[in-house]
Amino acid sequence: MAKASAREALNLYRRVEAVLRDQIADGAFAPGMRMPSEAALQAAHKVSRGTIRQALDALERDHLIVRQPGRGTFVRTRPSGKQGRPRLPMPEALGAASRARRLLRTGAGPTPPVVREMLDLSHGRDCPFFIRTSAGGQRPVALKRYLHPRLAEHLKGVAEAEDFEARLAEVMGQPVALGPVWAEAILAEPRFAMMLKTPPGAPLLSLWWVNNMGGAPVACSQMLRPGADAGILVSNPDTPA
C-alpha cells in the first residue's frame, strides 16, 4: 500500500509539472513573468502544497524558472533559440515523422514563443498549423507543424499531403531546405499524452526543426514520441547555430 501511494504521488506531481511546462512553452507563462503563488497553483490543480513544490523543484532543476525569496517565482528569460540547443548532425531522426499520416486537426492559433522566434514573427501574431498522428499498429508519433502566416492559404493542401516538403515546394515553386534541428526530453502533458496513448507525465522525445525557403523560415515542426531517446540528444559542434 505504501509503494502504491508513493507511485500515485509521483505521477501526480509529474502531471502538474507537465501542465506547467506546457504553459511555459506555449507562452501562457512568458519569460520574465511572475508565476502564481504556490497557494494559487495548489487551488488551481487541486493538489497538496508538497505536490506543487515538487513540480516547481523539477522546473527549477531544468532552469525553466527561478525562485527569488521575498519576490516569488519567475519564468526564466531564455537565451536565443538559435543558440544553446543540441543540434543534430543529420536528419535521420526526422524519418519518424513520416509515420504521422493521420490528419487530426488544422487551424490557426497563438504562437508558442519558440515558434515565434524561429519564424521571426511579432508577438501576438497567430500561426496556421496542423497536427498529424500515427495510425493504429505503429509506434505512436504526434507531429505538429506551424506555418508562417504568409502561407495560410496553402494550409489545407500541405496538411493533407503525404510528403509535406515536396508539396510545399510544388505550391510555392521553390526548393525547401532543412534549417536548425534540436531535441529535448520533456514530460507528456495531458493533450499529447492522450494522442500518444501514454500516461501524463511520461517521458517524451520532443524533436524540433525548421524548414527554410529562399533563405527565410517558412515552417517550424515539433515531433513527439514516447521515450526520451538520449542517444540523439547530443550537440554537434560542426552544425551552425
Strand pairing class (177-187; 142-147): unpaired
133/58: higher pLDDT: 133
pLDDT mean over 120-124:
84
Query: DSSP letters of 88-118?
Result: -SSGGGGGGGGG--EEEEEEEEPPPHHHHHH
Q: Give the DSSP H or E segment for 166.
A: helix 164-172
Residues pairing with 224 in the sheet: 142, 206
Give the count of beta carbons closer than 10 Å to the beta carbon of residue 219.
26
Which band of pLDDT confidence, cut at 50, 70 and 90, is reported for residue 10? low
Which band of pLDDT confidence, cut at 50, 70 and 90, is reported for residue 135? low
Q: What is the pLDDT of residues 191-232, one digit of tens each?
A: 788 888 888 878 888 888 999 998 899 999 999 888 755 444
Q: What is the pLDDT of residues 25-76, one digit of tens each?
A: 777 888 888 999 999 999 999 999 999 998 898 888 877 888 888 889 998 8
Q: How far apart are CA 107 and CA 205, in angstroms?
A: 24
Structural domains in the chain, CATH included, are: 2-75 (1.10.10.10), 91-232 (3.40.1410.10)
Which band of pLDDT confidence, cut at 50, 70 and 90, is reported for residue 93? low
Residue found under cell 527549477: 60
pLDDT beyond 60 at 9: no
Q: pTM score, two decimals?
A: 0.64
CA distances from 106 to 9, 131, 145, 174, 221 (A): 36, 6, 10, 24, 14
